[in-house]
A and B are shown apart, each in its own frame.
Chain A
Amino acid sequence: MNEHFDNLFADKVRDSFNELEVGFSESSWQQFLLKEKKAAKISPLLTNRILKFAAVFLIIAGVGYSFRMIVTDSELRKTDQNQKQIVESNEQKNPPNNAVTNGVDSSEVPSATQQFSEIKVPSESIAESNIDPEKQETTSVDSSKIETSTSSIGFAVVEQINFNMGDSEGANEKLRNKSTVIVDGKNYDEPMIFIPKARKSRFNEIEFHASSLTNYSEADPTSSLNYSGGISSEVQLTNRIGFSSGLTVAKQALEIENNGLEITTESELSETGISTFADLVTLDIPLNVRYYLNQDKEAYFSLGISSFLYLQESFTTTFSQVTELTIEKDGEQITFRQVDEVNNTRSEEAFSRFDFAKTVNVSMGFQYSLSDKLGLIFEPYAKIPIAPLTSEQVRFGSGGLQVRFQLRN
């Protein structure tokens, strides 16, 4: 008998709960989102975000450094080749110097740390081989007539010095001043010494920018006016192509969801007219490539991607909650309906989310020179979403006019 009761009761429990009607409510969803965020803080997802951010940082730093090295090295190579060509032509013009070179013991090639005056010069052998082409037939040269023996070193030595001296313009200047050769009271042309230019950074432009922008999303076709500002820099890859990156802080506010009027009459509690507004402060990390339309760089077309960190992420969901209350009075049932407007705000912590490469940036820039060092750029732009953004996973874009104030090296 008792077992029958147990079985019957268990069946009743199962059926009752399976048939239990609990309406979904927006507030429970909001509570879930909060809980999920708290859980995410201690989850490995956080590590993933940090890794993504680190990846972007390394990409920017790596690409920038690589381009800088490529450009500088190719510049050095070009300079080297040009100088060698000049040196070769000078060698033909100035055989005595060439002769001097032959007389130098390569084991005594000075290091960069040596003072120029310390460089040992085998003056005798120089003297022996230092022959004026006009006196080809003369085989001996009086070494006492070499006035600046310490500086009449051949090209091999000088070249070596300069390579080791690296970028020191001052050192190169010293070399240049001491390189006159006088043989038999006759001045020969100052030898062309290979002086590589100091490595010049290609990060030669810093731009401060500010813009007004409008955001757009499916739920917010009218959009609102927002603003942004930041700093960026450009690396020249070729005469026409540049790579630019930087940081932009943008204040963005827009409606991201609007479910319209939706009355549910089945449940006692129903929610109508749900809409969600987002209030965001984003840190935009763009990676753009600029193509200059002319050599004067008066106009360019830019294309790239943007990643976002969120300094502020706040969502306010507004909905009307309808409560029905039925009371019985004098055997008659009277139903009251009460409509309350409910605002539910959810905020995320700063830097808790990182959206990697979520928009495509397209822009046109028109550049005006204010002076040699200053420029002004007007750049209409659009950011087109390619994936959902924010913790609410909404697709929204932005567009506006950016004004860039350019400082050149």
Chain B
Amino acid sequence: MAEHSQDSLSDKKLVQLCKKDESYKAKKALYKRYYQYSFSVALRYAVSEELAAEIVNDSFVKLFRNLDEFKIDSSLRSWFRRIIINTAIDHYRKEKKHLENIPIEEPSMIEDGYEDIISALTVKDILRLLEKLPEYHRIIFNLYEIENYSHKEISEILDISVGTSRSYLSRAKAQLQKLFIANFGERYERTL
């Protein structure tokens, strides 16, 4: 019963309760509220559901441990989003210390008629494409195209040069187009 009442509380109130360490119920309510959101962000970076779940839990640990640093009047969602992204990047830093040397993709010639196919893509379809991207390409694609980070910000986060960031993004896009044709070419040809 108490947990249901926690569900109706605002983010601000839940954060205050969590800060006071009054109850795990407040933490659980916050966890429940942001689980889906955090999973959707983490999945774009992790591709696999298992790794995404791990990133989500690591992010929540960081969230609860650093709640004192959170400015209560700012957006919890935006702050948490940054935590998730940083956690996802940390995962890759642990796994891979160096950027992969991927050959530059030949630009693919994509014709009209792909709009319908793109709009029909499911999350699983997108994941199929993203998982085939080299890890750093995927991270940079996500950071630049989805999170709207600048190349300068990306270079600082990943400790690479701005030029490298640009270069990796171009390669990622080229690869995605190629992968799109390779995976959904059949549908593409049909629509053409």
Contact = CB atoms under 8 A, between A and B. Distances in A.
B50 to A, nearest CB: 11
Interface in A237-285: 257, 259
Interface stretch (A143-151, A158-166, A370-378, A387-395): A387-395
B36 A16 contact: no
B126 interface: yes
Contact of B2 (A2, A32, A36, A218): A218
B35 A22 contact: yes
A29 B34 CA distance: 12
B65 A8 contact: no
Interface residues of A, number: 35
A17 B40 contact: yes
Interface string A354-396: 0000000000000000000000000000000001100111000
Contacts of B121: 12, 16
A28 B22 contact: no
Contacts of B108: 2
A288 B170 CA distance: 71
Contacts of A29: 28, 31-32
A33 B64 CA distance: 11
B176 A24 contact: no
Contacts of A1: 110-112
A5 to B, nearest CB: 5
B126 A12 contact: yes
B40 A20 contact: yes
Contacts of B57: 28, 31-32, 35
A372 B25 CA distance: 53
B122 A6 contact: no
Contacts of A388: 22-24
A43 interface: yes
Interface string B101-129: 00000011011101100110111001000
Contacts of B23: 388, 393
Contacts of B31: 24, 29, 32
B95 to A, nearest CB: 18
Nearest to B44: A17
* Chain B residues touching A, range: 35 or more
B126 A16 contact: yes
Interface in A13-35: 13-14, 16-18, 20-24, 28-29, 31-33, 35
B136 interface: no
A8 B58 CA distance: 32
Given A24-B32, A31-B53, A43-B65, A13 B110 contact: no
A392 B40 CA distance: 27
B61 interface: yes
A13 B173 contact: no
Contacts of A16: 121-123, 126
Contact of A13 (B22, B58, B146): B146
A21 B35 CA distance: 10
A387 B108 CA distance: 64
Contacts of A14: 146
Nearest to A45: B65
Contact of A21 (B2, B22, B36, B41): B36
A18 B111 CA distance: 28
Interface string B19-50: 00111110010011001100111011000000
A2 B107 CA distance: 9
B3 interface: yes
A55 interface: no
B145 interface: yes
A387 B123 CA distance: 45
Nearest to B37: A18
B59 to A, nearest CB: 10
A43 B61 CA distance: 11
B35 A24 contact: yes
Nearest to B49: A22
Given A23-B36, A393-B22, A35 B44 contact: no
Given A13-B145, A393-B25, A22 B115 contact: no
Contact of B39 (A8, A20, A35, A391): A20
A31 B119 CA distance: 35
Contacts of B168: none
Contact of B24 (A8, A23, A391): A391
A8 B115 contact: yes
Given A2-B107, A32-B60, A218-B2, A12 B35 contact: no
B61 A12 contact: no
A183 B144 CA distance: 112
A392 B21 CA distance: 11
B113 to A, nearest CB: 11
Contacts of B111: 1
A59 interface: no
Given A17-B44, A35-B61, 8 more contacts: A2-B177, A6-B177, A17-B43, A22-B39, A24-B31, A388-B23, A393-B22, A393-B24
A-B pairs with the 3 shortest C-beta distances?
A: A10-B145, A393-B24, A20-B40
Interface of B: 1-3, 21-25, 28, 31-32, 35-36, 39-41, 43-44, 53, 56-58, 60-61, 64-65, 107-108, 110-112, 114-115, 118-119, 121-123, 126, 130, 145-146, 173, 176-177, 180
17 contacts: A2-B173, A5-B118, A5-B177, A10-B146, A12-B118, A13-B44, A16-B121, A17-B40, A21-B36, A22-B35, A22-B39, A29-B32, A32-B57, A39-B61, A391-B24, A393-B23, A393-B24
